[in-house]
Structure 1
Amino acid sequence: MTKKTESPTILLIAGHWLGAWAWDDVREHLDSAGSHAVAMTPPGLDPDDPQRAERTLDDQVTAILDVLARNGVSASTPAIVVAHSGANFPVSLLLDRHPELVRRVVWVDSGPVAAGSAFAADLPEDVQDLPLPAFDVLAQQASLEGLGAEVLARFRARAVPEPGPVLRQHVDLANGARNGIPTTLVCCSIPSAQLLDLARGGHPMFAEVTNLEHLDVVDLPTGHWPMWSRPRDLAEVIRSAASHTG
């Protein structure tokens, strides 16, 4: 890969229930290091959008493309795209449709999704959106390690219900070029050794990792929301990933 000397745009996209605000601490560290970091709120997660519960993954991809274009990203100046948790669905679509716009993808306690998959295909059609569950329920699905009472209170206060169409939509992936994009896996709630074993074993959540052609793996032990539990360390991992030339 041709060496890039300019500082690339770093686009930060958080997972379910979260907007751009979730990256505030990480952005502060990236900005102080001279990086050009931009956080976005995907369609469906803006509490002031009266039609937010109708937004789809396609709407989210369109919005990502708009943010990239407004920040000067093109095939000649591709971006670093950072996807946390459930942001892997719209970002997997982005990589499939426009691999030329992404210099490197950084999956934060996340990873690429398989063609034809959906986050919650069985979610009933009459369910408009999915609110943030009680934390004792959420803790059974994802680690809350490192999150104190103040952080959890902010999470609860600012979380926006995830749109039903986003959760139900199956992703249509057909472009193998997405697997050639340099990739960094940031493993937080699951150690990298365990994750890679699961991937090699064909686990449906991780099997796509075995198709990646240029993979770096970083362990950042903490819970599922490292942007709050270890923001400085996550920012350094992202900054280091952005500096890679291959």
Structure 2
Amino acid sequence: MAEFVLVAGAWLGGWAWDEVAPGLRAAGHGVHPVTLPGLAEKREETAVGQQAHVREIVEAVERGGLSEVVLVGHSYSGIPVGQAAERIGERLARVVFVDSEVPVDGESFASGWWQGPAELEAALAKNGGEWALPTAPDFEGQGLTDEQITRFVGAATPHPGASLTEPAVLDRPLGELPATYLKCLLDGPEPNPTVAALLTSPHWELVELDTGHWPMFSRPGELAQILLHSAPAA
């Protein structure tokens, strides 16, 4: 059976997968939600760069002696997850990018920021080097109930800004990895150009879900089913 290593995006810890994990466990798989340094219960580690997040994911796999690993990265965390997927070698069964960014060698999360990297870097500096929590407009049209938004905001923590500005390091082309990209259609109908190029690889597949950017809250059961389909056959 597979071992699912689940890494949520900015502001979120391992708790974000609480409604997804039961469906994976019920199918007999191992489930390992990861909280990255600087977030949730690891909040005290605030000056954290992206490579520290990569190491945390790799170490979670190695500490557990895991094999047949399905690495799952959501949003920001697709960047460290994509790098970790390369580094765990034969332990990897598949990587699943959930409406996420993907790593580009030598580029950071900020490099692809829609308003330009300087805009994001200025926002981080204004907030003491951290990425402030999303506000009400960020949740509009994302398929979340008021209760789900309240849960999100109540448990989320500011995100360490250094992880957004440190560049990714890839040892080989990302398109060589076995991968699924889940596009959440309420957050935009098309993958970004970097992802679209990767989807031309025979090793990558595209799956779509008619929900917003945080499917672990808005559609956890359907997300679990998509992840189950990505697991290696018994």
Query: TM-score scaled to structure 2, two decimals?
Result: 0.85
Q: CA RMSD in A?
A: 2.4
Q: 1:181 maps to which residue?
A: 177
Distance 1:24 1:72, change over 3 A: same
Distance 1:48 1:93, change over 3 A: closer
Query: Which residues of 2 match residues 74-89 of structure 1 at below 5 A?
Result: 77-89=67-79
> For 1:8, which of 2, 23, 31 is the aligned residue?
2
Q: Structure 2, unaligned stretches of length 5 or more?
A: 111-116
Distance 1:67 1:82, change over 3 A: same
Shifted more, 150-159 versus 94-103: the winner is: 94-103
Q: Could you tell me how far apart the structure 1 residues matched to 2:43 and 2:63 are? A: 21
Q: Could you tell me how far apart the structure 2 residues matched to 1:206 and 1:59 are? A: 24
Cα shift at 1:96: 3.7
Q: 2:210 maps to which residue?
A: 221
Q: 1:20 maps to which residue?
A: 14
Secondary structure in 2 matching 1:37: strand
- Letter of the aligned partner of 1:22 in structure 2? A
Query: Which residues of 2 match residues 151-190 of structure 1 at below 5 A?
Result: 151-176=148-173, 178-189=174-185
Query: For the Cα contact (< 8 Å) 2:11–2:159, is it kept in 1?
Result: yes
- Letter of the aligned partner of 2:142 in structure 1? L
Sequence identity percentage: 31
- Letter of the aligned partner of 1:171 in structure 2? A
Deviations 1:54-100 (A, max 9, x none): 01111111111221112222xxx341101111101111221343443
Deviations 1:77-132 (A, max 9, x none): 34110111110111122134344332100111125232222122431474420121
Cα shift at 1:17: 0.4
Query: Which residues of 2 match residues 62-211 of structure 1 at below 5 A?
Result: 62-73=55-66, 77-120=67-110, 121-122=117-118, 123-124=121-122, 126=125, 127-136=128-137, 138-139=138-139, 143-145=141-143, 147-176=144-173, 178-189=174-185, 194-195=190-191, 203=193, 205-210=194-199
Q: Could you tell me how far apart the structure 2 residues matched to 1:63 and 1:211 are? A: 30
Q: 2:114 maps to which residue?
A: none
Give the count of matched residue pairs. Answer: 223
Q: Could you tell me how far apart the structure 2 residues matched to 1:182 and 1:216 are? A: 9
Q: Structure 1, unaligned stretches of length 5 or more?
A: 1-6
- Letter of the aligned partner of 1:222 in structure 2? T
Query: For the Cα contact (< 8 Å) 1:84–1:108, is it kept in 2?
Result: yes
Q: 1:61 maps to which residue?
A: 54
